[in-house]
Amino acid sequence: MTSYKELGLVNTREMFKKAVDGGYAIPAFNFNTLEQMQAIIQAAVETKSPVIMQVSKGARNYANGTILRYMAQGAVEYAKELGCPNPQIVLHLDHGDTFELCKDCIDNGFSSVMIDGSSLPYEENIALTKKVVEYAHKYDVTVEAELGVLAGVEDEVASEVSHYTKPEEVIDFSTRSGCDSLAISIGTSHGAYKFTPEQCTRDPKTGKLVPPPLAFDILHEIEKKLPGFPIVLHGSSSVPQDEVDTINKYGGKLPDAVGIPEEQLREASKSAVCKINIDSDSRLAMTAAIRKHFVENPGHFDPRQYLKPARENMKKMYIHKIVDVLGSNDKL
Ligand code: G3H
Ligand code: 13P
Ligand code: ZN
């Protein structure tokens, strides 16, 4: 058993309370590689922001759970070395799908886990979440649950349809499951294709797709039912058009990729939404920089030559999210 406390990590409890009270959201950035981890920590330290580093089941399979745990420990030490004496860093399991996976993470240094029972029948979701909560709370690990189903298809997180969270269920669900935070479905979805062109309108000036708005009415109803309770938004990448254009210009093919407009995320950050998940925007920033580098430097084959601009591009994106969208800067 390795407690996250030994690694210098924190759970989400205090962090979320401050974020809800302060009207901002904590960035939850997915990571799979050293460069993502470095860019996340550099961005968090430079902006004085708390940060959630999250790892999916796929990331654990890709990078190895033990390595990721030591990377998170390294992240804490790296933040201190960069001049942040008291970094607030959470290591979070994203979309845990079984009790066993959550337990394994809790036993191995994670300070927060998500149990995603959103595709299960309601009572089964409660039962599974409760089981994870009972185990996690023994070790002061916080638990995110999900109610409602996100649309979109991305690797192991897949659902064809979106079922918005039903506000009338949230009190019963959170009370009986004991979860510490709740991911809800209000129209976001995973990946770089959040809406089909048919679901969008086209801006007559630019020809770009304009997605339908998020269901803020549902978010506000949920806030009324659960005052001050931490709410989480998944699938919150904005799919920046300049990154998509760069990828397409340098040999990629991402037609009609579309994300959540940043103004809407800015608005959500001011509400009880206190954790905003961003993965695809990091993938896009990394890929755009690498594609451009390869085309402009066909003779390069040292990974450091193309991973350095990739890391810089991700860092720029993380800082932008923290400062201009979520408002979690200057909180340490
Ligand atoms: O919500 C899903 C995250 O973007 C993680 O994706 O399962 O491909 O690592 P992944
Ligand atoms: P995006 O695909 O919009 O980045 O969402 C990531 C996410 O929700 C991770 O859990
Ligand atoms: Zn997600």
| In a domain? residue 232 | yes
| In a domain? residue 122 | yes
Q: Give me 221's structure tokens.
A: 């109803």
Q: What is this structure's pTM?
A: 0.96
Alpha carbon distance 104, 224 (integer Å): 35
Told to judge if 97 belongs to the known catalytic residues of this protein, a careful annotator would answer: no
| In a domain? residue 216 | yes
| Residue 22 domain boundaries | 4-326
**Ligand 2 in contact with 240 (CB < 6 A)?**
no
**Ligand 2 in contact with 277 (CB < 6 A)?**
yes
In the numeric block, the tokens 């008291």 are attached to 86
Domain CATH for 57: 3.20.20.70
pLDDT tens-place values along the chain, 332 residues long: 999 999 999 999 999 999 999 999 999 999 999 999 999 999 999 999 999 999 999 999 999 989 988 999 999 999 999 999 999 999 999 999 999 999 999 999 999 999 999 999 999 999 999 999 999 999 999 999 999 998 754 334 444 556 899 999 999 999 999 999 999 999 999 999 998 888 899 889 888 889 989 999 999 999 999 999 999 999 999 999 999 999 999 999 999 899 999 999 999 999 999 999 999 999 999 999 999 999 999 999 999 999 999 999 999 999 999 999 999 999 99
Residues within 5 Å of ion ligand 3 by Cβ?
A: 234
Residues 126 and 176 sit within 8 Å (Cβ to Cβ): yes
| In a domain? residue 331 | no
What pLDDT does 160 receive?
53
Count of domains forming the chain: 1
| In a domain? residue 332 | no
